[in-house]
Amino acid sequence: MNPNFGKDPNSFPIRNKRFFLTRLLLSILFIILSITLILRLSTSTTSSIKRQTFIKTTTTSKTLKHANTSTSGSISQPTLPSSTTSATSPPETKPLPTLATPLTITAPATTPTTVLQNDSSSLGNSIASLASSFDQYHSAFIEANPGSGCNPFSYYFRRGDPSVSCPPGMEANYWCADFAEWIWVENGVNGEGINDAAISFISWGEDHPGSLHLGTSYTPQVGDAVVWGDIATFIGTHVGIIVGSQDGQIEVVSGNAGPAIYSGSVARVWNSGYIDPSTSVADGYPIIGYVTP
């Protein structure tokens, strides 16, 4: 033992001092390494958490984006409702006629062939085709509640009798002129001047040079209107649309025509078949002329 050890605590032997210093340095180094390790572990853990969070966020974002893309591809666009026109609609927004449920009519075994002699007139052919689409060989249109006069053609022009109750979209009238005018108007003909009187077609023809053909010298053309009545007293009893013309005979489709089906009411759109215009009568009156649209 060093005899001076107890006298001066700082007077360690050189060997003991070196050992002490070595331990001190190792302790400091250990502390530094420990702190460094702790900091590194802390940084690594934080980075890992951030990286995992980023991965989760990115994955979620991609998943949501994919889901949105898939969903948007499967959703169909909404279907807008069809516009409808009520019975109180103003005349400037006239609806197209809606067919009433027709009676069951058995057509003959053979449907008459319409001969379009004026093939150069696409207007005439178009008029004839539309008129024929309502006759007994096609949609077989018949007025609602036969005998009431309720029909969509008069409703189109707002010419019905308000005292008669009709289904929506129909009005009651004697409607042969309304039907013929509607066929023309639907084909782009300006029907101004025509009303619900058959004779108004004669007046319209007078106002349009070259359209009116009185007497028997004219050869009727497909698409023309044909009027029965008396020109002297300016009475019209019926009007129809010529859908065929051959060998001096005419085939006519007209509204409010045909065989009586209820209390003397004819009530339908009817194809006359081929008739001789020189002998044909309507309510006892002969054909007085033709009007070209």
Helix (H) or strand (E) holding 272: strand 268-275
Q: How many CB atoms lie within 10 A of CB 244?
A: 23
Residue 226: the pLDDT is 98
Percentage of the residues of the chain whose pLDDT score is greater than 90: 55
Interatomic CA distance for residues 63 and 49, integer angstroms: 21
Task: Name the helix (H) or strand (E) containing 151.
Answer: strand 150-151
- Say what the pLDDT of residue 154 is: 97
What residues contact 283, with CB distance under 8 A and at least 6 apart?
Answer: 228, 237, 238
| pLDDT tens-digit series, residues 197-213 | 999 999 999 999 999 99
- Cα separation, 141 vs 61, whole angstroms: 62
Cα dist from 105 to 147, 239, 250, whole Å: 17, 23, 23
**pLDDT (tens digit, 9 = 90+) per residue, 127-157?**
999 999 999 999 999 999 999 999 999 999 9
Q: Please state, in angstroms and rounded to a whole number, the distance separating the CA atoms of residues 258 and 286.
A: 17
pLDDT of residue 35: 78
In terms of pLDDT, which residue wins out, 37 or 101?
37
Q: Alpha carbon 25 to chain centroid distance? A: 94
Q: Inform me whether the pLDDT recorded for 6 exceeds 80.
A: no
Percent of the chain with pLDDT over 70: 63
CATH dotted code for 97-291: 3.90.1720.10
> Averaged over 161-177, what is the pLDDT?
96
Residue 275 dihedral angles phi and psi, to the nearest 5°: -130, 160
Supply the pLDDT for residue 5: 37
Whole-angstrom distance, CA of residue 160 vs CA of residue 91: 13
180 pLDDT tier (thresholds 50, 70, 90): very high
Q: Which amino acid is at 132?
A: S
User: Could you tell me the residue ranges of all domains in the chain?
Assistant: 1-68, 97-291
Residue 278 confidence (pLDDT) above 60: yes
* Band of pLDDT at residue 36, cut at 50, 70 and 90: confident
